[in-house]
Amino acid sequence: MKKTKLKSGKIRAVYPGSFDPVTRGHIDVAKRAISVFDEVVIAVINNPSKKTRFSVAERISMLKKSLVREGLGKVKVDSFEGLLVHYMKTIKAGIIVRGLRAVSDFEYEFQMALMNRALAPDIETVFFMTDAKYAYLSSSIVKEVASLGGDVSSAVPPSAAAQLKKNR
């Protein structure tokens, strides 16, 4: 029997990603995840060798504001360095949440899910399909459009739209 549950019987899931910045697609996945699992922790990857537009603190702040605004205050936000499965063991989480947009996401997600399974057989990866209206959204396209002066308010929560405008 797998140990994906806590001793209390509850299931703690982790939704890891760069969230550079959070988009409405990420929020949609978080909403679906918290409707299924007892606890969801959005875990911002702190990878000093990867260049990001926003600092970890800024990414966390945008996420927290967006979650509260969406009535998802129950979803926690944290950050981690190093291997995801090591972080998950320290907080006793048993499920990795990832979002799927299109077939193009599949290959990379499949590879990562199998690698994480090889590293930690007790941890399961679960995928949520985003709402079709967010299927084309990514943090990178949002950054590109915003840097060219485009309006991204339909793609990202207000806290991220404001930061993108400031950091142009």
Q: Which residues bind ligand ADP (CB under 6 A)?
A: 17-19, 23, 25-26, 29, 98-99, 101, 105, 130, 134, 137-139
Q: CA 74 to CA 10: how far, in whole Å?
A: 14
CB nearer ligand ADP, residue 53 or residue 98 = 98
The residue at minimum Cβ distance from ligand ADP is: 25
Residue 2: CB minimum distance to ligand ADP, A: 22
Q: CA 73 to CA 64: how far, in whole Å?
A: 8
Which of the following is catalytic: 50, 51, 104, 166? 50
CB nearer ligand ADP, residue 11 or residue 142 = 142
- Whether 26 is catalytic is yes
Helices 84-91 and 103-119 meet at what angle, rounded to 10?
60
**Tokens read off for 96:** 């990795």
CB nearer ligand ADP, residue 11 or residue 63 = 63
Residue 73: CB minimum distance to ligand ADP, A: 20
Residue 94: CB minimum distance to ligand ADP, A: 18
- Whether 65 is catalytic is no
Which of the following is catalytic: 12, 24, 26, 143? 26
Residue 132: CB minimum distance to ligand ADP, A: 10
- Whether 53 is catalytic is no
Q: CA 156 to CA 2: how far, in whole Å?
A: 37
Q: CA 15 to CA 74: how far, in whole Å?
A: 14
CB nearer ligand ADP, residue 6 or residue 109 = 109
Q: CA 104 to CA 97: how far, in whole Å?
A: 18
Kind plus residue range of the DSSP H or E element containing 34: helix 24-34
In terms of Cα–Cα distance, which of 128, 47, 126, 122 is closest to 92?
Answer: 122
Give the residue numbers marked as catalytic: 26, 50, 101, 139
